[in-house]
């Protein structure tokens, strides 16, 4: 069991790298980076403070702040007043940002179709379910380990 899980972890990292390279290529075709694409995608659902976007992405706030500033500078996003927190503005996409995101998303849909060619949907659903379960169990294990360290 442990050996198979270790091999799966290695495969997931390899797949993540391949998907990251593909994502960079897709974003680059629209003059963006994958990091910018990810941030635009997160704030397209609803405007949010940079810190919250960073938590959703699982990355450092400082890096997200830099990317947010770039998007604002390029006219793809804007900072709006946050009625809940005066010193933490909301990052929102502009119309140009929505258009850029839509173009990348359309390219991604076509790429996903090609990448998934010949893989049954039931296989994809099964893999997703296993990865989601492993992610939850990994998070639970990490939280428990953190608690043990705090208690020591």
pLDDT at 150 over 80: no
Give 114-144 pLDDT, tens digit per residue.
999 999 999 999 999 999 999 999 999 999 9
Task: Residue 97: name the closest of 81, 128, 119, 73 by CA.
Answer: 73
pLDDT tens-digit series, residues 55-106: 999 999 999 999 999 999 999 999 999 988 888 999 999 999 999 999 999 9
CATH, domain range 19-117: 1.10.10.10
Name residues whose C-beta falls within 8 Å of residue 16's C-beta, 6 or more positions apart in sequence.
none
> Given this model, what pLDDT does residue 69 score?
98
Q: How confident is the model at residue 152 (pLDDT cuts 50, 70, 90)?
A: low
Q: What is the pTM of this model?
A: 0.82
CA distances from 103 to 28, 29, 61, 112 (A): 11, 9, 26, 14
d(CA 148, CA 82): 37
Q: pLDDT of 5-54, one tens digit each?
A: 999 999 999 999 999 999 999 999 999 999 999 999 999 999 999 999 99
Q: Under a CB-based contact definition with an 8 Å cutoff, are residues 70 and 91 in contact?
A: no
Tell me how far CA of residue 117 lies from CA of 18, 26, 111, 125, in angstroms: 16, 18, 10, 15
Residues belonging to the chain? 152
Displacement of CA 97 from its chain's centroid (Å): 17
């Amino acid at each position: 069991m442990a050996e198979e899980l270790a091999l799966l972890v290695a495969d997931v990292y390899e797949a993540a790298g391949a998907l990251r390279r593909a994502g960079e290529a897709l974003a680059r075709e629209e003059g963006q980076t994958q990091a910018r694409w990810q941030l635009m995608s997160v704030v397209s659902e609803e405007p949010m403070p940079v810190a919250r976007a960073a938590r959703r992405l699982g990355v450092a706030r400082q890096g997200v702040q830099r990317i947010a500033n770039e998007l604002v500078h390029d006219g793809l996003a804007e900072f709006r007043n946050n009625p809940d927190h005066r010193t933490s503005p909301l990052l929102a996409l502009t119309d140009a940002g929505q258009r850029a995101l839509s173009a990348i998303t359309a390219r991604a849909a076509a790429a996903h179709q090609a990448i998934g060619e010949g893989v049954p949907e039931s296989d994809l659903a099964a893999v997703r379910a296993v990865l989601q379960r492993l992610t939850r169990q990994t998070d639970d294990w990490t939280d428990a380990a953190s608690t043990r360290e705090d208690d020591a």
